[in-house]
Chain A
């Protein structure tokens, strides 16, 4: 059976307590189906921390103030390659996008494809078959990437994603810095069939005194062919390629 949009091979939730535990089991694909197209309810350039202010360390506060000063001067390439080069925003900044996100969910893997500049992130899930490494794959573990390496697992109806192995050349949003020790933990769930919630937790002991979080929500969008977006065309104009 060809995989239909919004349906998955059976995942089961079992009900009952005590000696009845597990007696009534039913497919839960409908409850944990993140598949589809989503758009941020309140797109914004900055992470809004849950509760109190971002708990910067002294070094983190200084780096943050430096970024603000550089932004004020307009020297984007000194600190924000997204603005100056269309480089990948990385995680979690890409989750702030005002454009659509398409989630492809399979039992052992989830891929988020972003309308913005066609970037993508892969979340591996338990049970993924042994992965082979080609040249790029083998070296990828030696060098941090903008999106990091994401591993997920289900806790009931919540997808818990842990991401590490980041490049230090990105920002958490348009200003907040981080380093190589960044760890992002996301708890992704459906609040209802049309609303996706991503509760993000940020840890980086060099830049923050304690973990802190921010919550983003997304509305389900109609299925669609996502228009091709090429950031460099907008930033630099059309490339010198023949058009005949």
Chain B
């Protein structure tokens, strides 16, 4: 076996040193009744070339030559090649959680840089070292707000990613925490502010909204914050499309921001691994879940970094910890850090503006097809938009597939009231000719219908 660095003679030599007759002696403590005395029924050992062939075939079966308008919480952006060149360095890739600070300063400093960049982008004071993803981050943020306020109710916008809301429900099901959902305004797709005002009470721990929301619409964060804060509730803003922060005003009025940073140079990988992160105002730092890196000095006065405030965490506090999270998404956070360094201050704005332009063009072209209309026109959007068609999406999406284009996601699976409505996304990698081709395909069917 090519990963095992021992010759048969060395194994014998070691057994002898231990005083064992055979390797089975070392497993003697396992009762014979349930020892496995056969080979596992799994595929035989493959050579490296066979492994590569197997996965390449699977990749091809997946189809690679389709253009796609899919977004909805997972976004395709260009990934600068230096990201993979750097994260594949064994010193990053094959290192453990940096508990031994003296020999993990590389990881620690990179995480400190990540925390700083996320704080800068979101307008928060501090950020943690990462969470599993945007969905679990949002759920943990709500639990955090509950600890901070000592209150037991949460108000959640229906425009938060439906799968995030499902995860939240799973996380809360055995906690003493009730949630209520509030709808959106038909004209704008924004949170129904009046309903929010009625729903938030003196018992509300948190208001959870997403911006840009699931429809791609940017919420009026200052107005929502005012409603939450008036009753002493915390405002949590979930951000599923991190690139939006290049051009969209950061939610500075929020108390906690839970962000999915997948857009920062992380491959789609069929939904994971992604990179959640929680950022917050300074005074809530001791209720943050997950790891934090802090700056300090060594005995000789050199600057150095350590994992800190670990009395919040499970390995110290056990059942009283702020979360049970241990392993996070460190390497993915490093990808994000490199991505943000590549684009930098000017590049993030330029990149975000390209996204804005592509989506504006796509929205205009697709909605100008007869029988199609753009929903939620009355509010600013980033790079996603909702299109409603007279024709059933099942029909035109098949015609698009025939042209090797994957159209928008159908919304009725989460929003039954939005019939024939689909959510489209156009990032900077979307080509004009794809948009034009999609418009043509849509038009073809609608004329016939």
Do these two chains really belong together in a complex? no
* Residue positions of A touching B, CB distance < 8 A: none
